[in-house]
Structure 1
Amino acid sequence: MSTRPSEEECLESAQLAIDAGFEYLTGTLFYPSVVELLKGTGIKYYPFVGDVGGSPVTLKGALEEILADAKRLEKAGVSGLDLVAYRYADGDPVELAKKLVAAASADVIIAGSISSVERLRVVDNINPFAFTMGGALFDGKFAPDGDFRENLEAVVDVMASI
């Protein structure tokens, strides 16, 4: 799937989520057809909020536009919102995340570039529903000589100490 997936690609991802028994579908663009396909499956749909695209995914736009998009998505029936806060190109990512978490009636997942103990502490303070990690674990950001598991264990240890 591209970083600016088509409706067809998002529907394929949703069908995979159904077929595989996923609990969550996160990090896609929003399409009403995906909401419809997921109805009655129990799968929670958390599309990206705001104007996202590129590789790695970048978030653009004014803070007010992103907050308005969150409200639009909530009204459209999503379970939650996927915010790439640390990839926000047009403002302060922490301010954006705090304001979105406070304003949203849906759950918020923060995704992307959570790659340091400092950022883990900030994300914990923002208190989203959840956060996701990928590259930081594969790239050894928390246990430089460790494998994926050792990096994940280091993150678990940090989170337990907060």
Structure 2
Amino acid sequence: MDFIFMLTRNDRTVQDAADHLAVAQSLGVGHIGFKDIGLPFDRLHALNRMIRDGGAVSYLEVVSEDRESEVASARAAVEIGVDVLLGGTRAEEVLPVLAGSGIRYMPFPGRVTGHPSVLNGPVEEIVASAARLAGLEGVHGLDLLAWRFAGEVPPMIARVCAAAGKPVIVAGSIESADRIVAAASAGAAGFTIGTAALDGAFKGAGPGLETQLRAIQTAVAAIGHGVGGRRER
């Protein structure tokens, strides 16, 4: 199961992202990402270069709500050269932008609104959205805001994973080992953590980013999937 460390707080890339990146790299975290807002383009470009130079898989997650910003973020992902584009809700408009880039694309299923982003129900609508998106050529998986949903989360994850038939990343509000286990048990391929680790809020771990990341890595290893590997060069 892949642990994706997001250099973000409340859906924005943090100003001191490079400092946190250095800590993650020292621990061998192999999947690292950032959001499309919070830092100017040139700093996101440099951040991506540092992530990839360190051997990790790089992720850009789109949380902009309007069409023009989402398409612009997809273009930025191509120019920056990230490995994976997460999020966004306009797959049909983003896919032509990504064509030929080699970027793996995992959009949000369901109706996503607000900032920080929230996933709106009902479950049947989310599942139908997941099936439709996963069926599009060029969509490699889904980015599911599971614990941003006001309902029974683990069963919803399981239904989305079954409907998609492609890898599902669980994003948003993962702050305990119990939630990691629940996501894995429901069939998720990975998960993201940003705010909880940066704020020292991952349950059962002491303060400090290094301590938090080690606790998350331990939680992943404990479920028998192993901490996510590093990028193939």
TM norm. shorter chain > 0.5: yes
**Alpha-carbon contact 1:110-1:131 (below 8 Å) kept:** yes
| Alpha-carbon offset, residue 54 of structure 1 | 1.5
Q: Which has the higher contact order (CA 8 A, sep 6+)?
A: 2
Does 2:181 align with 1:121?
yes
3-state DSSP class of the match of 2:170?
Answer: strand
What do the CA deviations read for 1:71-118 (whole angstroms, capped 9, x no partner)? Answer: 2212333221111111112x2111100111122122211101110121
How far apart in 1 are the matches of 2:217 and 2:102?
28
1:139 pairs, out of 199, 207, 210, with: 199
User: Paired residue for 2:52?
Assistant: none
Does 2:147 align with 1:94?
no
How far apart in 2 are the matches of 1:72 and 1:152?
35
Q: Which amino acid aligns with 1:20?
A: I
Does 2:120 align with 1:63?
no
User: Paired residue for 2:95?
Assistant: 35
Does 2:211 align with 1:158?
no
User: Paired residue for 2:77?
Assistant: 17
How far apart in 2 are the matches of 1:154 and 1:41?
35
| Alpha-carbon offset, residue 4 of structure 1 | 5.2
1:47 pairs, out of 89, 104, 107, with: 107
**Alpha-carbon contact 1:70-1:81 (below 8 Å) kept:** yes
Q: What is the RMSD computed on CA atoms of the aligned residues? A: 1.7
TM-score, normalised to structure 2, is 0.64
How far apart in 2 are the matches of 1:157 and 1:42?
32
| Alpha-carbon offset, residue 12 of structure 1 | 1.5
**Alpha-carbon contact 1:4-1:54 (below 8 Å) kept:** no
Q: Which amino acid aligns with 2:107?
A: P
3-state DSSP class of the match of 1:106?
Answer: coil
3-state DSSP class of the match of 2:119?
Answer: strand
Q: Which amino acid aligns with 2:136?
A: A
**Alpha-carbon contact 2:63-2:87 (below 8 Å) kept:** no
Aligned residues: 160
Unaligned runs of 5+ in 1: none
**Alpha-carbon contact 1:140-1:151 (below 8 Å) kept:** yes
